Amino acid sequence: MNPDRLVLLDIDGTILLTAGAGRRAITAALGEHVGEVSSFQHMRFDGKTDPQIVGEMLAMAGHEPPHDGERVAALCRRYVALLERELASGASSTTLMPGIERLLLRLAGEQRVALGLLTGNLVDGAELKLRAAGLDSRQFVVGAYGSDSHDRCELPAIAAARARPLFGHVPSGEEVIIIGDTPADITCGLGIGARAIAVATGAYSVEDLSLHRPWAVLPDLSDTEAVMAAILG
Ligand SMILES: [Mg+2]
C-alpha cells in the first residue's frame, strides 16, 4: 500500500532544542568573516533557513548583496564545522520536545504515513542536531533543507517531488502535512496546498500561530492521538 500522507517535520523548536548551540555556531562563523557580532544579538532565527540567516547577517554587517553564491556557501560550511564542535563540547545539551519520541514511534508504525523533514537547517546541520538528540536521521525517508533553497517556501515542493517514488505521484494538498513551530512553517506550504499543524513549543503561542490559520494547532506534540488525528483527518 502506498502512503497517503507525507508528514514533514521541522527540527528546531519542533523536534528538539540545541540550547543555543546553533546560534552560537552561526554567530561565530559570521564573526570570523565580519568581525563585530554584537548586532546579531537580537536577530531572530526561527522559521528562517540557514542560508537566509547568513545572508541577513551579512546585510546587517554592511556587506553589499548579493548574499548568495560561494560566500554564503563557505560560511554555511564553516557554520556546520563549528556546530559539530559546539554539539560535541558538552557546553549545551540537546533536548527533545515533549512527546516526540512517542510520536515518531507511532508514525513509524503507520502505513499511511511517509515521514520526512522540512527544515531551514543545512542537511549536514540537521544530521548533527538529530544525532545530538539521539535520533536516527534515517527514519526520515525524504527531506528538504536549507541547503536546497534559502527560501523556505520552495522547500515543500522539493520534499514532495522527492516523495514521488513512495506515492506513485507527487503528493500535494491534504496529502502533505507540515508540522512546525513558526508562522513560516504554516505559510510555506500554501503553494502546494499542504496542511500545516502548528505547535507552540517555540517562540509563538497557540494564539499567535492561530492567526495564520493552520489546519490544526497544538500546545505541544505530547498528545500523540491528537497529532495523528490531525495528520490522518
Ligand atoms: Mg522551528
Per the prediction, the chain carries an average pLDDT of 95
Q: How confident is the model at residue 90 (pLDDT cuts 50, 70, 90)?
A: confident
Exposure string over 78-115, b if 16+ CB within 10 A, otherwise e: bbbebbbebbeeeebebeebebbeebbebbeebeebbb
pLDDT 10s digits, 193-203: 999 999 999 99
Provide mean pLDDT across the span 77-100.
Answer: 92
pLDDT at 43: 93
Ligand 1 centroid from CA 13, angstroms: 5
Ligand 1 centroid from CA 25, angstroms: 17
Span 5-17+95-232: which CATH code? 3.40.50.1000
Ligand 1 centroid from CA 196, angstroms: 13
Residue 21 has pLDDT above 70, yes or no: yes
Checking DSSP bridges between strand 113-118 and strand 195-199, what pairing results, if any? unpaired
Closest of 50, 6, 17 to residue 199, by C-alpha: 17
pLDDT 10s digits, 144-193: 999 999 999 999 999 999 999 999 999 999 999 999 999 999 999 999 99
Residue 103 has pLDDT above 80, yes or no: yes
Cell triple for 167: 506515492
Ligand 1 centroid from CA 39, angstroms: 22
Ligand 1 centroid from CA 6, angstroms: 18
pLDDT at 64: 76
Q: Is 182 exposed, middle or buried (0-12, 13-18, 19+ CB in 10 A)?
A: buried
Residue carrying the nine cell digits 554555511: 76
Ligand 1 centroid from CA 109, angstroms: 25
Q: In angstroms, what CA-CA distances link 48 with 107, 225, 232, 233? A: 26, 29, 27, 29
Ligand 1 centroid from CA 12, angstroms: 4
pTM (whole model) above 0.85? yes
Ligand 1 centroid from CA 111, angstroms: 26
Ligand 1 centroid from CA 80, angstroms: 18
pLDDT at 67: 62
Ligand 1 centroid from CA 146, angstroms: 12
